[in-house]
Amino acid sequence: MDGNGRWAKRRLLPRIAGHRKGIEAAKTVVRAAGDLGVEVLTLYAFSTENWRRPADEVSDLMGLLRHFIVSDLDELAANGVRLRIIGEYNALQPDLVDLIDQAVSRTAPNNKTTLVIALNYGSQAEIVRAARRLAEQVRDGVIESSDIDEQMMESALDTAGLPPPDLLIRTSGEQRLSNFLMWQAAYAELMFVDTLWPDFGKAELAAALEDYAARERRFGGL
Ligand code: FPP
């Protein structure tokens, strides 16, 4: 969801105004995903690197996230959205962690759209955590190191049980993965669009899906 800051700057507004508009865009895209038949939508909301931003901005982002969970959960729940979190969200403020846990358990029975929010997420840290979990199982004699294969690695990642992404969209003209789903996106189609995240809506998602549908995926075969 890149480009909130630039969206605000172009309007001579503070960065928080861009993030606020970014939340609106996220809500629009979650609704659109449901309408367009997208089963799993993952939004990169806060990276392990985002702690490097000024404390004010970090606090604003946490405030927006808290507000989103408190005021938009009913609508999400009513629309069959199941919420899941990836990343070390337990490091966030305890009240926010509680709110997140409640939201995740409340929406767990839903099955129309899975909304995955990446919070305090970094792909490298996730892979390190998975490696540690497997190493502990080897140490405890639960598994042999030779048992470790791609499937076992996948089930030790935060995304365990979720399908790998088919399409990865980065907004705002940047062309980087920025530590996002690097294992899971091994065969994802990558799409880089110039639209700033606050301007990304249903039409943009539909256009991305149309572009995706025209691509030929070979997964390394012929
Ligand atoms: C990228 O724009 C956006 C972020 C780093 C934060 C997005 C997160 C939120 C709006 C809060 C939580 C979200 C949800 C969906 C609950 P940028 O600041 O990097 O923009 P720039 O590159 O133009 O400066």
- Residue 130 CA, ligand 1 centroid: distance in Å: 26
Compute the distance between CA of residue 123 and CA of residue 42 in angstroms, rounded to an integer.
Answer: 13
How many other CB atoms sit within 10 Å of the CB of residue 140?
8
* Helix (H), strand (E) at residue 31: helix 15-36
Residue 217: what are its φ and ψ, rounded to 5°?
-105, 125
The single-letter DSSP state of residue 181 is S
Q: Does domain 4-121+163-212 have CATH number 3.40.1180.10?
A: yes
How many other CB atoms sit within 10 Å of the CB of residue 67?
12
- Residue 113 CA, ligand 1 centroid: distance in Å: 22
Q: In which band, very low, low, confident or very high, does the pLDDT at 219 lie, cut at 50, 70 and 90?
A: confident
Would you say the CB of residue 43 lies under 6 angstroms from ligand 1?
yes
Would you say the CB of residue 42 lies under 6 angstroms from ligand 1?
no
Percent of the chain whose predicted confidence (pLDDT) is above 90: 97
Q: In which band, very low, low, confident or very high, does the pLDDT at 50 lie, cut at 50, 70 and 90?
A: very high
Angle (nearest 5°) at CA 27 between 3 and 123: 55
Query: Is 188 strand, coil or helix?
Result: coil
Q: In which band, very low, low, confident or very high, does the pLDDT at 29 lie, cut at 50, 70 and 90?
A: very high
Is the predicted pLDDT of residue 220 greater than 90, yes or no? no
The arithmetic mean of pLDDT across residues 96-118, rounded, is 97
Classify residue 213 as exposed, middle or buried by CB count within 10 Å of its CB (0-12, 13-18, 19+): exposed
The arithmetic mean of pLDDT across residues 3-10, rounded, is 98
Tens digits of per-residue pLDDT, 115-151? Answer: 999 999 999 999 999 999 999 999 999 999 999 999 9
Tens digits of per-residue pLDDT, 159-208? Answer: 999 999 999 999 999 999 999 999 999 999 999 999 999 999 999 999 99
Would you say the CB of residue 28 lies under 6 angstroms from ligand 1?
no
How many other CB atoms sit within 10 Å of the CB of residue 191?
16
